[in-house]
Amino acid sequence: MSDLYQPGVTPAHYPQLLEQKCQTLTQRLSEFDPPALEVFASRVTHFRLRAEFRLWHSGDRCFYAMFDPEDRKKPLEVLDFPIASEQINDLMQRLLAELQDNQPLRRKLFQVEFLTTLSGDALITLIYHKKLDADWEVAARALMARMNVAIIGRSRKQKVVLERDYVTEQLSVDGQTYRYRQIEGGFTQPNGEMNQKMLSWARRCSAGIGGDLLELYCGNGNFSIALANCFDRVMATEISKTSVAAAQVNIADNQIDNLIIARLASEDFVQALRGEKQFERLKDVDLSSYDFRTVLVDPPRAGLDDESVKQVQDYDNIIYISCNPETLQANLRLLSQTHTIQRCALFDQFPYTHHIETGVLLTRRPV
């Protein structure tokens, strides 16, 4: 549950909470003698583009519920959700009214997930403790028509896609508009406006470097799409099949002709780059022709393992996007042996929580 729902926490506390994050991050980075921290504040309300709730049934009514981490058995009714987008708050109320007397849709429904975009697209996922049958599908299609929103039904070993299982986002970055297919269940940045700021920052970090970019852990191409025109060519890797499929759509939709995304684990790609192993998915790619001067990594919370750190140290410029300042600090202790921090930024993707998103630009130390 967001800390915003804890007693006494309001948007008025946001500047103080953000300052605490700045102090925490500054302290963790202090041993590397970094430049001044660039701070990107979030909107204080309606910034989150996805949300999920338990649906609690009580007699003749049902309601959205969240749980206090200290008492998981006691549901707390959610009447509205001010950190979520205005569109989610609207859909929450409309969907709840539709469910109350609709037994095919309401029966054994235990969770609802909302995925929205800055551009107004939306998708609702209904998750059940029952098999979804023909009666459910008829009712769900009627609901989809009334609400004018895409709907997916899920249950154990079952996924019913009525129209589509994705939304299409449009992001405005440095005067350019980028289109992104975002798959239900896949990773996307939850704070769309902050994502725009983060992409713009990464573009500024890339200005004037030249050469080619390598991106590891590229997801649906969030960074590589926006950075493509900052480099001669971009090579990106991602292991998730659904994310790569979305990325290929995004390449086509944005008419990008200098970006290749391969479905490979980062360690496999490095083996291919070193000539240690060949992969069928790279058979038409001449890796020796690339002039990789920059690598971008956006790893999971566990950060980079020691071998991956050694791999990225091969590049003159490193753009490191981190969702965990603790593992970032550990990685920087190794990276700082060969590189220095030129820029560092805090992106407040998750206001009212302790989560900190960081961007760091490192360049190789002179020999």
Q: In what order do the strands lie in the sheet with 150-155?
A: 71-77, 61-68, 50-58, 109-116, 122-128, 150-155, 158-161
> Does residue 265 contact residue 290 with C-beta atoms inside 8 Å?
no
What is the length of the chain? Answer: 367
What are the residues whose beta carbons fall under 8 Å from the beta carbon of 244, sequence distance 6 or more? 238, 261, 262, 263
> Does residue 105 contact residue 135 with C-beta atoms inside 8 Å?
no
Give the C-alpha separation, 298 to 331, whole Å: 13
Number of Cβ atoms within 10 Å of the Cβ of 7: 4
> Does residue 220 contact residue 186 with C-beta atoms inside 8 Å?
yes
Give the C-alpha separation, 97 to 81, whole Å: 16
How many Å is the Cα radius of gyration of the chain? 22
- Provide the annotated active-site residues: 323, 357
